[in-house]
Structure 1
Amino acid sequence: MHLLSSFPNPETAIEPLFSLQVQSLPPLLAMSSIQFGSPRPPFDPKLWLTAVWAVALVFLRQGAAASLAWPRNVTVPAAFAFGDSVMDPGNNNGLATVAKCNFPPYGRDLDPSVPLGRCSNGRVPSDMLAETLGVKKFLPAYLDPNLELQDLLTGVSFVSGANGYDPLPAKLALVLSLSDQLDLYSEYMETICLEVGVERASAIASKSVYILCNTYFATLLRRSKYDVSSYTDLLVSWASSFLRELYGLGARKIGVLSLPPVGCLPSQRTLHGGPKRDCFDSANKAAVLFNSKLCAEIDSLREDLPGARLVYMDIYYLLLAIIQDPARFGFEVSTKGCCGTGNIEVSYLCNRLDHPVTCDDDTKYVFWDSFHPTEATYQTLANQIYGKYARELF
């Protein structure tokens, strides 16, 4: 992720996400020590507000899917996911690649019946989308050999870790490119047509919700030919082509996640942040540039593709806010991951040998490993992002 060139400081574009701060909890904890039979303490408005916001924080972190703003009169038959390791539930498990997470401590907070492969301690955003839609709690990998027809009918994930809009990383990592993922989706649709008929298969395709997330930058591999501006143009053109092809295969309701503040990932702090492990500012500026172009392209596609409900979903500023002020969202550590030292571990570097230094309570951490957030962070993001953009998909 060595990104060159410079752009206007993205921090000048940051809008406050919340106007209210969660206050410290000592008064609330003190309130719990009141004994029955003691004189009733005087009403304290500040204490009452502290308690209310503390409870609100719990709901923000745990987030009931029913609280999100999905239209009540809409039934979604299935959910589908495309992208990279942020949402890969295990499609890479059987591939000849090192880019996989199907071993402990990955998935340590999941029920043992759930197949390993997610690059986190628990669920990932595609799972949360499927649950929010009322479809199912886990969105399985399409390449899972144990899938049954009902699993297919309610949606699957075609996501493959270590790929990007740029097809080169997937080729080098021996994983599924976005083009490969579309081929698998075409195969899926053929199977569904044979099983339930063309009419029902077409209805599943058009009424389902699709999510696309791609966070992989390969400028280090492309910098001999492209600067950041031209490379982001290239990435947007690839993203646009993918969305057009997916639309051509019947998809209509598609949410596209923005790039996160990639320069603030623990790995990028370690590799490019200097002795203080600061955020890698050039990477964040490049992400902001790409996001602005992607958003504009999605607006354009929405005009060109009849019936398409394409929605740009901005996760950059919310995740940046969580990283910059973790306590505000109920976290404690945002500069390193839970697994191992938290500075560089990912995939096979995050393993059982790291157990002595792996954190005990991952709910305190924004990141699980040096690249991927924890389930708690994903849930916080999902509650806000899906709730904000839900109605635009219908």
Structure 2
Amino acid sequence: MRISLVFALAFAIFSTCVYSQGVTLVPAIITFGDSIVDVGNNDYIHTIFKANYPPYGRDFKNKEPTGRFCNGKLATDLTAENLGFTNYPPAYLSPQATGKNLLLGANFASAGAGYDEHTSLLSHVIPLSQQLQYYKEYQSKLAKVAGSKQAATIIKDALYLVSSGSSDFIQNYYVNPFLNKASTPDQYSSYLVGIFTNFIKSLYGSGARRIGVTSLPPLGCLPAARTIFGFHESGCVSRLNTDAQQFNKKINSAATQLQKQLPDLKLVIFDVFKPLYDIVASPSQNGFTEATKGCCGTGTIETTSLLCNPNSYGTCSNATQYVFWDSVHPSQAANQILADSLIIQGIALIS
């Protein structure tokens, strides 16, 4: 994988851009979505979906719990490093999102958010519609820092990342009887993909041209899903994985149509289903010893709430052996594998 990564980056090097933070393959990274990519926005809003306390961040720089739902770096952090960034684009609601830091891009993601507005409202987090409004606000701030000409270039050439959909199913559809009785998983997927399509059109209308969107992961392999929905089924919950795969087919089809409709749009759907499923199915081949539960606490239910905390009994000592950090989110070690996969899949976005 590392050899492939080197070749991929070498191939893309001709598109290198030089900005204030050094040599990078894109001038900035702008991120929208949920807890998989949230770097701390939820620290600044009233919600229980926070990760700004130990043991979150215990393997991050200075062992600091920044609001990332991980023991260390997210896949997007590692992707930024792969692209030449030495600092990460800041959480937009944080005090760091000011001045020259805005030249790096910005992160608008909010843990618990989904394509469905109701998913975000249920969790009291920042919906995609509000994230988009913050992005437009960011553009104005960027113009003041960089000047309108350079700001326009940054907006056009930046890499846009979107991660959403998992919360819609795990925290809304599967546990909301009003919703899952009114719609089949297939119908709900179509509804979400319609929102995705409109969101991409809005991003495009605001200047975005290089957009990478994550597919759904194997939802049925998440430790929390096994605990809540697995009953006595051994291994991953097959029906949840089937739903995720059906959604992924729809979003790929929608992306193909969008590229036909919108001139100069580069849109890649990152397949995170297969690489994560492969790790879970064959953990030892990827350097892991545990793929059925997370490192924090029992690893079966602790996730985006206060259940994963400094007093969580049973938290593992070495997260590098675990595919999952808590019952939903990958460990830094798993994120490294995912990031390597993303950079290769996304070569079209940086070439």
The correspondence for 2:144, drawn from 169, 191, 194, is 194
Aligned residue in 2 for 1:369: 326
| Alignment of structure 1 residues 58-73 onto 2, 5 Å | 68-69=8-9, 71-73=12-14
Any unmatched runs of 5+ in structure 2?
A: 18-25
Which residue, out of 299, 307, 310, partners 2:264?
307
Instruction: Give the one of 222, 246, 258 matched to 1:265.
Output: 222
Aligned to 2:95: 145
The farther-off stretch of 312-321 and 69-78 is 69-78
Letter in structure 1 aligned against 2:265: A
SS across alignment from 1:334? strand
Partner residue in 1 for 2:124: 174
Q: How does 1:137-286 map to 2 (within 5 A)?
A: 137-214=87-164, 215-216=166-167, 217=169, 218-220=172-174, 221=176, 222-275=179-232, 278-286=235-243
**CA RMSD of the aligned region, Å?**
1.8
| Counterpart position of 2:22 | none
How far apart, in 2, do the equivalents of 1:68 and 1:311 lie? 16
3-state DSSP class of the match of 1:153?
helix
Residue 139 of structure 1: how far off its partner (Å): 3.1
> Does the 8 Å contact 1:89/1:139 carry over to 2?
no
* 2:340 alignment partner, SS class: helix
Confirm whether residue 95 of structure 1 aligns to residue 53 of structure 2. no
Question: What is the one-letter code of the residue matched to 1:278?
Answer: G
> Residue deviations 1:64-100, cap 9 Å, x none?
x756436111121101111100011000001110011
Measured after TM superposition, the shift of residue 290 of structure 1 is 0.4
Report the CA distance between 1:223 and its aligned residue. 1.6
Amino acid at match of 1:231: Y
Alignment check: 8 A CA contact 1:337 1:367 kept: yes
CA contact 2:293–2:324 (8 Å) conserved in 1: yes
For residues 242-297 of structure 1, the C-alpha deviation after alignment (integer angstroms, 9 at most, x for no partner) is 11101111110001110000111000111111245531211111100000000000
CA distance in 2 between partners of 1:189 and 1:379 (Å): 30
Paired residue type of 1:143: L
Offset, 1:130: 1.6
Does the Cα contact within 8 Å between 2:210 and 2:349 map onto a contact in 1?
Answer: no
User: Secondary structure at the residue paired with 1:80?
Assistant: strand
Counterpart position of 1:135: 85
Q: Given the superposition, is the C-alpha separation of residues 137 and 364 from structure 1 closer, same or farther in structure 2, using an over 3 Å criterion?
A: farther
How far apart, in 2, do the equivalents of 1:152 and 1:146 lie?
A: 9
Task: Provide the rounded CA distance (Å) in 2 between the counterparts of 1:83 and 1:225.
Answer: 26
Corresponding residue to 1:359 among 316, 330, 337: 316
Q: SS at the partner of 1:352?
A: coil
Give TM-score scaled by structure 2 length. Answer: 0.90
Equivalent residue letter for 1:72: I
Q: Conserved in 2, the CA contact under 8 Å of 1:208 and 1:253?
A: yes
Q: Distance between the aligned counterparts of 2:63 and 2:138, measured in 1?
A: 24
Give the share of equivalent positions with the same residue, in percent.
Answer: 38
Higher gyration radius (CA): 1
2:263 counterpart SS class: coil
Q: Secondary structure at the match of 1:254?
A: strand
Q: Which runs of 5+ in 1 are unaligned?
A: 1-55
Give the alignment's TM-score, normalised by structure 1.
0.81
Which amino acid counterpart does residue 159 of structure 1 have in structure 2?
Answer: A
Residue 72 (structure 2) pairs with residue 122 (structure 1): yes
Residue 151 of structure 1, CA deviation:
1.2
Would the alpha carbon gap of residues 325 and 319 (structure 1) be closer, same or farther in structure 2, given more than 3 Å must change?
same
What is aligned with 2:21? none
CA distance in 1: counterparts of 2:99 and 2:215, whole angstroms: 32
